[in-house]
């Protein structure tokens, strides 16, 4: 094994008895590291050495192999470093990296060089072992690029997309700094906190606390979490006994500070996590009071981590962080701010249809994993959680007592139930890495909210799906979200009966196979009687049973444009270009009576101008399909939406609204009389209002 390592003038010297090995280290990105293992050569031999053939490793594989030249000649190995955003520049970090390459006197070179490997950073054995136990062998970019600067004592502004590991980006260097500074050697009872962390929500505070508790225990440090809704007594007792790290919401930390139970006189670190959301939640004054409560800010290191950097966050950085602060921004001016590990889907559907749509989307996209459904109000969350079948859903919002919220979150994490229906109280801080699907029942108030919600999936290197429902009333918000978040939704139609049957059939099959063998004899006679009396093949009987278990006893078509049941989406294809929906209506009039034409809804032209897409009641489909022989166009049932020229026509059909005067009424579908009737009117119903005009 190599002996002691020293760095001098860009060379790493490995002492080993009378011999030394010189290692030329180049730290610039994309250059090579030369590892030379040999005794010092006489001057006369150096010219020969320059002519020796150097054997390079295959850089594509990231490994290095040395081939021997003549006897007594040095071995030269070139290891190409994988390009990355930023490399540590200090000699100590370089020495650590090269020690991974030089082994056994320079005769064996390590395999792939991972610049993000935990071993490349100044992390002690205790924390390394804890990370390894958690399955963490490499750091995420935000963690790797901020570690050295924070460890070296710099104030830091760190920005990365949600779900990219910002919490450990401050947990690891703060704990290592405290450990290596000798702080842990003299921990007195009643000591004041060395670290405070502000988080915008209770859930995030608890999860940050859990990380500090997990990794802090490895270096002998204690943590307490303080937040509103919990009793003051236990929190005050913990603070009086003495604690190293205090994590909490701004309101409760401010309370303890003003009560005198939280002393900032020994503070070494103050950290703002998800700083941008503190502004949205109205914590501006509380945050500034806490940050301003430090007697000598020059002795305190301040770290600010955020997914976005609105004006207030920038003001906080200028006011409370040192002028020498470092900034690591992994988002910058990129337009793509929403997670690129998430598939962003857009699905049309009226709010009143949300329960069925949520269930169907879960069936098709949930993959049997954890799902978070976001609603705008607390009542909506409670109602939807209660309406979803099978008892697999629970609600989470601010009116639920704190202890019950903790039980709910624990049940969600451990898999006791798979669907969490939440308000934005859960949009921040739910650090659960295996959420497969996020559903948003309507467009949120702004793009940032969408980003944070959708970021609950696709975390920690995983992929996920985010589905956003919208109706015509809030359709205008969709392009705003796309523009500000810098991505385009993939527009989909509601799952069709065939899709749902396939997805739910797999689940039902698993349920059948899970039935205990001890139960089977009790039902054999009933099964035998069914086979004998039905006259159906056994396979068909079994298929019917699976369909019944799945809840799919009847196939109903569903509109691809609106997701409404009992509506079918058709496409009219013409040999010539269509310049307006009127052309499509004129084509239909060539073979259909006006009474049938009046049933057409949501006429939209395709991007190529050769087709028009529209909805009709499912009962009328055959009339549209059957009467078109000899014409220069065709009408077909659509299974998937083509790209359309414009958003669905707000007027519904040919100069008609979805409600207007007359039409089928119905609660939640446009008020008294609001429904399918047009401005030309049906006689049924007496009210107005469009079908999509009410929730």
50, part of any domain: no
Are residues 410 and 347 part of one domain? yes
The candidate with the shortest Cα–Cα distance to 236, out of 222, 251, 226, is: 226
Edge-to-edge strand list for the sheet holding 342-348: 393-396, 419-422, 370-374, 435-440, 464-470, 342-348, 490-491
Q: Is 326 left (phi over 0), alpha (psi -120 to 50) or beta?
A: beta
Are residues 479 and 378 part of one domain? yes
pLDDT of residue 335: 55
The candidate with the shortest Cα–Cα distance to 128, out of 109, 147, 112, is: 147
CA angle 481, 486, 491 (to 5 degrees): 60
pLDDT tens-place string over residues 378-433: 999 999 998 886 668 999 988 888 788 889 888 998 888 999 999 886 556 677 77
CA distance 37 to 182: 37
40, part of any domain: no
What are the structure tokens assigned to 390, written together? 């099978």
Are residues 263 and 372 part of one domain? no
214, part of any domain: yes
621, part of any domain: yes
689, part of any domain: no
CA distance 35 to 76: 6
Are residues 544 and 477 part of one domain? no
- Grouping H, G, I as helix, E, B as strand and the rest as coil, residue 64 is coil
β strands within 95-169, DSSP E: 102-103, 108-109, 156-159
- Grouping H, G, I as helix, E, B as strand and the rest as coil, residue 80 is strand
Are residues 303 and 160 part of one domain? yes
Are residues 632 and 589 part of one domain? yes
Q: What is the tally of structural domains in the chain?
A: 4
Are residues 219 and 152 part of one domain? yes
pLDDT of residue 666: 35
Instruction: Write out the residue range of the structural domain in which residue 612 sits.
Output: 567-637
pLDDT of residue 39: 44
Are residues 346 and 322 part of one domain? no
* Domain-ending residue, one of 329, 360, 377: 329
Question: In this structure, what CATH number is given to the domain that contains residue 583?
Answer: 3.30.70.2280
83, part of any domain: no
Are residues 372 and 291 part of one domain? no
pLDDT of residue 224: 97
412, part of any domain: yes
Are residues 539 and 419 part of one domain? no
Are residues 299 and 393 part of one domain? no
Question: In this structure, what CATH number is given to the domain that contains residue 392?
Answer: 3.40.50.300
Are residues 277 and 144 part of one domain? yes
CA distance 621 to 267: 73
49, part of any domain: no
pLDDT tens-place string over residues 27-65: 333 333 333 334 444 444 444 444 443 433 343 333 333
pLDDT of residue 502: 75
* Domain-ending residue, one of 607, 637, 667: 637
| CA distance readout (Å), 568 to 174, 319, 478, 558 | 60, 60, 24, 6
| Regions of the chain where pLDDT drops below 50 | 1-111, 648-695
Q: Is 332 left (phi over 0), alpha (psi -120 to 50) or beta?
A: left
* Domain-ending residue, one of 284, 302, 329: 329
Q: Which residues contact 266 (CB under 8 A, 6 or more apart)?
A: 191, 192, 193, 194
Q: Is this model's pTM higher than 0.75 or not? A: no
């Amino acid at each position: 094994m190599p002996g002691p390592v020293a760095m001098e003038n860009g060379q790493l010297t490995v002492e080993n008895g009378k011999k030394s090995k010189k290692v030329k280290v180049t730290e610039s990105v994309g250059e090579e590291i030369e590892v030379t293992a040999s005794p010092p050569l006489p001057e006369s031999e150096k010219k020969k050495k320059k002519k020796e053939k150097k054997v390079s490793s295959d850089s594509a594989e990231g490994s290095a192999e040395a081939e021997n030249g003549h006897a007594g000649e040095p071995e030269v190995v070139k290891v190409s470093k994988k390009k990355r955003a930023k490399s540590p520049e200090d000699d100590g970090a370089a020495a650590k990296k090269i020690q991974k390459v030089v082994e056994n006197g320079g005769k064996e070179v390590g395999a792939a060089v991972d610049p993000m490997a935990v071993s490349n950073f100044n992390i002690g054995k205790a924390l390394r072992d804890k990370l390894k136990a958690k399955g963490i062998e490499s750091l995420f970019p935000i963690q790797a690029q901020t570690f050295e600067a924070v460890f070296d004592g710099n104030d830091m502004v760190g920005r990365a997309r949600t779900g990219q590991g910002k919490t450990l980006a401050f947990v690891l260097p703060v704990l290592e700094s405290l450990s290596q500074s000798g702080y842990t050697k003299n921990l007195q009872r009643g000591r004041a906190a060395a670290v405070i962390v502000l988080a915008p929500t209770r859930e995030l505070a608890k999860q940050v606390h859990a990380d500090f508790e997990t990794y802090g225990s490895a270096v002998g440090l204690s943590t307490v979490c303080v937040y509103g809704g919990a009793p003051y007594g236990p929190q005050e007792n913990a603070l009086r006994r003495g604690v190293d790290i205090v994590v909490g919401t701004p309101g409760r930390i401010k309370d303890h500070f003003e009560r005198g139970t939280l002393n900032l006189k020994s503070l070494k670190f103050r950290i703002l996590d998800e700083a941008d959301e503190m502004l949205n939640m109205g914590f501006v004054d509380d945050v500034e009071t806490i940050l301003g409560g430090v007697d000598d800010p020059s002795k305190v290191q301040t770290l600010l981590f955020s997914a976005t950097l609105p004006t207030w966050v920038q003001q906080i950085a200028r006011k409370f962080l040192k002028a020498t602060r470092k900034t690591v921004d992994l988002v910058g001016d990129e337009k793509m701010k929403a997670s690129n590990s998430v598939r962003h889907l857009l699905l049309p559907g009226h709010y009143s249809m949300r329960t069925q749509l949520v269930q169907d989307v879960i069936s098709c996209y949930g993959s049997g994993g954890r799902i978070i459904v976001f609603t705008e109000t607390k009542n909506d969350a409670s109602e939807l959680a209660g309406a979803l079948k099978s008892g697999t859903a629970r609600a989470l919002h601010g009116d639920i007592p704190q202890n019950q919220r903790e039980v709910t979150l624990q049940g969600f994490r451990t898999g006791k139930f798979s669907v969490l229906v939440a308000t934005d109280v859960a949009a921040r801080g739910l650090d659960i890495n295996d959420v497969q699907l996020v559903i948003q029942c309507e467009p949120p108030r702004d793009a940032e909210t969408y980003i944070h919600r959708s970021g609950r999936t696709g975390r920690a290197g995983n992929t996920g799906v985010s589905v956003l429902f919208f109706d015509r009333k809030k359709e205008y918000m969709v392009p705003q979200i796309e523009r500000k978040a810098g991505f385009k939704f993939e527009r989909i139609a509601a799952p069709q009966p065939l899709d749902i049957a396939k997805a739910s059939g797999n689940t039902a099959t698993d349920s059948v196979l899970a039935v205990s063998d001890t139960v089977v004899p009790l039902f054999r006679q009933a099964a035998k009687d069914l086979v004998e009396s039905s006259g159906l093949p056994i396979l068909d009987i079994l298929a019917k049973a699976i369909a019944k278990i799945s809840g799919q006893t009847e196939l109903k078509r569903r509109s691809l444009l609106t997701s409404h049941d009992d509506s079918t989406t058709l496409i009219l294809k013409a040999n010539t270009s269509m310049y307006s929906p009127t052309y499509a209506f004129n084509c239909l009039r060539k073979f259909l009576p006006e009474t049938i034409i009046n049933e057409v809804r949501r006429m939209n032209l395709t991007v190529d101008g050769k087709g028009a897409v529209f909805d009709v009641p499912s009962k009328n489909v055959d009339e549209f399909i059957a009467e078109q022989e000899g014409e220069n166009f065709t009408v077909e049932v659509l299974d998937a939406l083509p790209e359309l020229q414009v958003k669905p026509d707000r007027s519904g059909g040919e100069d008609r609204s979805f409600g207007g005067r007359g039409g089928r009424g119905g609660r939640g579908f446009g008020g008294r009389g609001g429904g399918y009737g047009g401005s030309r009117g049906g006689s049924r119903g007496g009210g107005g209002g469009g079908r999509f005009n009410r929730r």
